[in-house]
Amino acid sequence: MNNSKELDGKKVGKKRKFNRRSLLAGIAIGAVGVAGASRWIDRLGDDPNRPPDLYEYALDNYWFKTANLADQKINDPLKGSHQADIVILGGGYTGLSAAYHLIKRFPKKHIVLLEGACCGYGASGRNGGFVDAGISGLDGYTEEAGPEKGRHAFDLTLYGIQVIKDLIKDYGVDCDFEETGHIHAAMTEEEAEGLEHHLERYQAMGLEANLLHGREMESDIKSPRYVAALNLPYGGIVDPAKLACGMKKVVEGLGVEVREKTVVMKVTPGKNIRIETEMGEISAPNLVLGLNGYSHKLNFFRNRVIPLNSYVIATEPLSADQWQSIGWQNRQGIADSRVLFDYMRPTADGRIVIGGSDYPYFANDKLSAGNYKPVIGKLTQSLFTTFPQLTGLKIDHAWGGSMGFNIDFAPSVGRMGDYGNIYYGVAYCGEGVAFAQTAGRIIADLMVGESNDFTRFFTVNRKISYAGPDWMRIIPMKLYKWLLVSQGKKTTR
Ligand SMILES: Cc1cc2nc3c(=O)[nH]c(=O)nc-3n(C[C@H](O)[C@H](O)[C@H](O)COP(=O)(O)OP(=O)(O)OC[C@H]3O[C@@H](n4cnc5c(N)ncnc54)[C@H](O)[C@@H]3O)c2cc1C
């Protein structure tokens, strides 16, 4: 027994010695492995062309110039300690639309909107200005729920377009909105077949749409690149920064306190939510998050809402002859049908704004706004391939911005938190100009406690899938994009 105990003891002792050594060796190997892997992942995500983080404000954004942002009054930041009824974070369309709908519902409440830079500084002041009907995720919903419910959901998204029209009519917002509808263009016969499927789906939903082939397209667009085009007479084009600036004025006029140059540093949820800013603090029993692609920076929707980037160029104004040479009399926004598609539209002063070609993700959810040369180069080339008639036209402006995506490719609008007092709208997946207006209405309806078609909309409180940890996301993102491109699937719009 003793022996055996000794043996056992020896065995145990030996085992312990062996375990300690192997544990140390394991830790050392693991550490080297992790360091190596993270260096490798870092290198994979390190893009020398990525525009620097800190030249966001001075970026060469054509829309900022049309909205005369340089000469606009930017409101003073929040300083000191305050209490409000509702605080809204973010001065993009989500925050501004929530402010607009909330102040109409609660005219006596003290509503404060906090924006880090100036209203329209994020995606809302930088986008292509396509005012789309429908929304990402609607195709999947229609497949599951059937064309009738799909049509009902589509009709609810038209509300966002109506809000823009109301802002123009009732408040004189000057944002160059043109109700032109949109064109989806095909560059190959295979893509043209895809458009036929879209047409069938739209027809099953009772929507107006028509497909044009070859020369039939010429009144709409003259390009050797397009073989077919699907015309959708819903929505239109807008000057996005003018819309955001106009909305700021409207909500201020209605009584919302808008604080700009107010970077929010920390949010502490609770019954009375505490929001700490760079120079002050404010508490409120209700909070609205309108941060979209920036949400992760304040630890909201981290690893769920992912910032993807889109880059845009604006040409110099075209001459009357140049416009004549490319047709485009009806001035619709055009998106092609490739996976990494381009979108382009005319501007009020006769330029072409074109974006897309690639939608880069930068490692660790980095945001990026400036002149990203690889994509700007592709866009310029794409413009002249689409319209060889315009070769030699100068590119006057180039910029970009970050927008919120998720791996479900569908937005979520809802309320959350232990006290159910944090409201949000995120992940419009590149289609937020009109839908963020609807999101603001949904947020207000939820806060009022209403139950209606908007609060039952299929994206309300939709769970956003986990997208994996941010430190390694660059790998699945690159793989995913490669897979999509190699299978020829369309990512958005
Ligand atoms: C280049 C580009 C092209 C696009 N084209 C189209 C298009 O043609 N049609 C379409 O429908 N959609 C398009 N989109 C998407 C669309 O612009 C967005 O879905 C929409 O603008 C989102 O609005 P938002 O208010 O939710 O977010 P944002 O407009 O991004 O607003 C978030 C705001 O929060 C502020 N903020 C962030 N962090 C803080 C903080 N800590 N403290 C205070 N404030 C903070 C930011 O400054 C920003 O103003 C495009 C996006 C980009 C980038």
Among 475, 462, 468, CA closest to 426: 462
Three-state DSSP class for residue 398: strand
Confidence (pLDDT) at 5: 37
Q: What is the mean pLDDT of each run of 10 residues along the chain (493 residues)?
A: 34 48 69 67 72 62 92 93 98 98 98 96 96 95 96 97 98 98 94 95 95 86 94 96 98 98 95 96 98 95 94 97 94 93 97 94 87 92 96 95 93 97 97 98 97 97 93 88 73 39
Confidence (pLDDT) at 58: 56
Given a contact cutoff of 8 angstroms between Cβ atoms, the answer to whether 355 and 312 are in contact is yes
Given a contact cutoff of 8 angstroms between Cβ atoms, the answer to whether 184 and 232 are in contact is yes
Among 400, 397, 401, CA closest to 314: 397
Between CA 119 and CA 113 the distance in angstroms is 10
Confidence (pLDDT) at 6: 32
Mutate to test the pocket of ligand 1, among 262, 291, 409 (most ligand atoms within 8 A of CB): 291
pTM, rounded to two decimals: 0.91
Please count the other Cβ atoms lying within 10 Å of the Cβ belonging to residue 492: 20
Cβ(248) – ligand 1 distance below 6 Å: no
Confidence (pLDDT) at 15: 45
Cβ(430) – ligand 1 distance below 6 Å: yes
Listed in sequence order, the residues at least 6 apart from 333 whose beta carbon sits closer than 8 Å to its beta carbon are 128, 129, 130, 180, 182, 183, 235, 236, 237, 343, 344, 345
Distance 470 CA to ligand 1 centre (A): 20
Cβ(360) – ligand 1 distance below 6 Å: no
Confidence (pLDDT) at 484: 79
Distance 80 CA to ligand 1 centre (A): 28
Between CA 111 and CA 456 the distance in angstroms is 25
Token couple for 39:
């260096």
Confidence (pLDDT) at 177: 98
- Helix or strand holding residue 392 (H, E): none
Distance 491 CA to ligand 1 centre (A): 19
Token couple for 146:
């059937």
CA of 261: how far to CAs of 136, 180, 281, 282, 360, in Å? 32, 36, 14, 15, 28
Between CA 490 and CA 234 the distance in angstroms is 21
Between CA 284 and CA 421 the distance in angstroms is 10
Between CA 298 and CA 475 the distance in angstroms is 24
Distance 23 CA to ligand 1 centre (A): 48
Please count the other Cβ atoms lying within 10 Å of the Cβ belonging to residue 77: 17
In the chain, the domains with their CATH numbers are 62-487 (3.50.50.60)
Between CA 161 and CA 170 the distance in angstroms is 14
Distance 264 CA to ligand 1 centre (A): 16
Between CA 435 and CA 441 the distance in angstroms is 10
Cβ(91) – ligand 1 distance below 6 Å: yes
